[in-house]
């Protein structure tokens, strides 16, 4: 029998990107995977063709309400819902159902961190969905519940992880990340209007106030040789639809030089199909990862100040959300991890 997949929040940016990837998944093309219920709230009753004409294979399908009844009976359920809505639905789905949550409901292990940054009741934590973090690939493969990482934490974690894990830097990190407007979701917002974003760049939720900060701290502290990692994170909104470019800086540990950094990064990601350490002198660019599940990374040593400057770019909707979710689905179902996930980007 075919694997059946439902997508809650199908008409949102994350849900739509999950569908785009599934429609090109080899299991879907062979008939081994079927796309079942497509659910939403405000868009219930509308056709996919009207809402998402970029998905012509599903144009005749209609969005149905995000009820337990509509989601039940599937082998896999992707939850592309706003924060705070996943926990209740997940409780009602059987333990045999693979549930992949693209929201923050189950990402944080520390209740105090949740309470400090999110509203609503703390729901606990699930295996965390960045397979490239050592030990996480195995945990995802053995689980029926996966919490997909946030887009900023995915970029920052993969950019900084080799330096933290190898003890190349002091555990005090600064992150400035430029992001496209799709990261805020599809909801109507004055701040996201074209007239507000075109020709304009602005920082928001600076240093310590963005809710992705504790996720970054959690991820990097897991591998730190020097205790908990401090992260000061400021996002910057740029007039583009997709993409994140993060600049990560930290003081080098004593005795660390550029050759050691280069060797550590190349070794750490040598066998990772979606993490590309660029040649020396080449910088990541968002245009080179659009539509792909890749993270492009460069690590540069500033000899004058003794600091490491890591730049990392990814597509926030693909590797940063939906691509990471499908990657986790592949692992949990025993499918090839790279199935349906493009390495090549859209250019120009």
pLDDT at residue 156 above 90? yes
pLDDT tens-digit series, residues 119-141: 889 999 999 999 999 999 999 99
Single pTM value for the model? 0.95
3-state helix, strand, coil in the chain (%, to 5): 30, 25, 45
Structure-block tokens of residue 281: 């002198």
Task: Identify the pLDDT of residue 194.
Answer: 76
pLDDT tens-digit series, residues 18-57: 999 999 999 999 999 999 999 998 899 999 999 999 999 9
151 is catalytic: yes
Task: Identify the pLDDT of residue 1.
Answer: 85
Q: How many CA atoms lie within 13 A of 84 on its CB side?
A: 7
pLDDT at residue 67 above 80? yes
Q: State the catalytic residue, choosing from 151, 275, 318, 328.
A: 151
- Phi then psi for residue 281, to 5 deg, are 90, -10
CA pair distance 60, 4, nearest whole angstrom: 18
pLDDT at residue 218 above 80? yes
**Nearest to 291, CA basis, from 226, 241, 218:** 241
Task: Identify the pLDDT of residue 272.
Answer: 98
Residue with tokens 């540990």: 253
Q: Are 239 and 197 in contact (CB under 8 A)?
A: yes
Average pLDDT over residues 314-341: 98
Residue 343: partners with Cβ closer than 8 Å, 6 or more residues away: 273, 274, 292, 293, 294
Task: Identify the pLDDT of residue 298.
Answer: 98
* Entry field: residues in the chain: 348
Average pLDDT over residues 98-127: 96
Helices and strands, counts by H and E, the chain: 12, 14
pLDDT at residue 324 above 80? yes
Domains within the chain, CATH numbers bracketed: 3-149+321-333 (3.40.50.720), 152-314 (3.30.360.10)
Q: Are 118 and 83 in contact (CB under 8 A)?
A: yes
């Amino acid at each position: 029998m075919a694997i059946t997949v439902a997508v809650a929040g199908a008409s949102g940016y994350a849900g739509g990107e999950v569908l785009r990837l599934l429609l090109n998944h080899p299991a879907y093309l062979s008939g081994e995977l079927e796309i079942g219920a497509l659910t939403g709230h405000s868009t219930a009753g509308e056709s996919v063709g009207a809402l998402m004409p970029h998905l012509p294979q599903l144009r005749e399908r209609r969005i149905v309400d995000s009820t337990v009844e509509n989601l039940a009976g599937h082998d896999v359920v992707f939850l592309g819902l706003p924060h705070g809505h996943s926990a209740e639905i997940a409780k009602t789905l059987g333990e045999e159902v693979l549930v992949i949550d693209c929201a923050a409901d189950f990402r944080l292990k520390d209740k105090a961190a949740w309470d400090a940054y999110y509203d609503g009741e703390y729901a606990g934590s699930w295996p965390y969905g960045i397979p490239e973090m050592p030990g996480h690939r195995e945990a995802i493969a053995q689980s029926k519940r996966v919490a997909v990482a946030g887009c900023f934490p995915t970029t920052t974690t993969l950019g900084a992880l080799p330096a933290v894990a190898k003890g190349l830097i002091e555990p005090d990190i600064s992150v400035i990340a430029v992001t496209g407007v799709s990261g805020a979701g599809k909801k109507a917002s004055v701040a996201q209007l074209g007239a507000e974003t075109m020709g304009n760049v602005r920082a928001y939720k600076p240093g310590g106030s963005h809710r992705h900060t504790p996720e970054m701290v959690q991820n990097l502290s897991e591998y730190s040789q020097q205790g908990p990692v401090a992260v000061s994170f400021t996002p910057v909104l740029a007039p583009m639809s997709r993409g994140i470019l993060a600049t990560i800086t930290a003081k080098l540990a004593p005795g660390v030089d550029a050759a050691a950094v280069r060797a550590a990064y190349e070794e750490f990601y040598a066998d990772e199909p979606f993490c590309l350490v660029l040649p020396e002198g080449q910088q990541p660019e968002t245009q080179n990862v659009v539509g792909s599940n890749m993270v492009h990374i460069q690590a540069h040593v500033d000899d004058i100040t003794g600091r490491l400057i890591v730049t990392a770019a990814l597509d926030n909707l693909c590797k940063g959300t939906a691509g990471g979710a499908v990657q986790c689905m592949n692992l949990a179902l025993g499918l090839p991890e790279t199935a349906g996930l493009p390495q090549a980007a859209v250019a120009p």
